[in-house]
Amino acid sequence: MAKRFFLFILTNILVMLAITIVFGVLSFFFPGLGWGMGMGRDGSLNLVALAVSSLVWGSVGSFISLQLSRWMAKKSMGIQLLDGNTGNPELDWLQGTVKRYALEAGLTMPEVGIYDSSEINAFATGPSKSRSLVAVSSGLLDTMEHAEIEGVIAHEISHIANGDMVTMAIIQGVVNSFVIFFSRIIGWAVGQVVDRDRDDGQSALSYGAQVVTNLVMEILLGFMASMITAWFSRRREFRADAGGAFLAGRGKMIAALQRLQQTERVLDPRGPGLATARISGKSWMAMFSTHPPLEVRIEALRQAQ
With left for phi above 0 and alpha for psi between -120 and 50, is residue 81 left, alpha or beta?
Answer: beta
By the 8 A CB rule, do 69 and 61 touch?
no
Long-range pairs for 204-209 at CB < 8 Å and ≥24 separation?
206/43, 207/28, 207/41
By the 8 A CB rule, do 293 and 241 touch?
no
Q: Under DSSP, is residue 290 helix (H, G, I), strand (E, B) or coil?
A: coil
Contacts of 301 (CB under 8 A, 6+ apart): 241, 242, 245, 250, 253, 254, 257
Contacts of 67 (CB under 8 A, 6+ apart): 127
Using CA atoms, how far apart are residues 225 and 206, in angstroms rounded to an integer? 27
By the 8 A CB rule, do 271 and 6 touch?
no
Q: For 115, phi and psi rounded to 5 degrees?
A: -125, 145
- CA 255 from chain centre, in angstroms, equals 27
Q: Under DSSP, is residue 254 helix (H, G, I), strand (E, B) or coil?
A: helix
Which amino acid makes up residue 240? A
Residues classed as catalytic: 156
DSSP symbol at 275: G
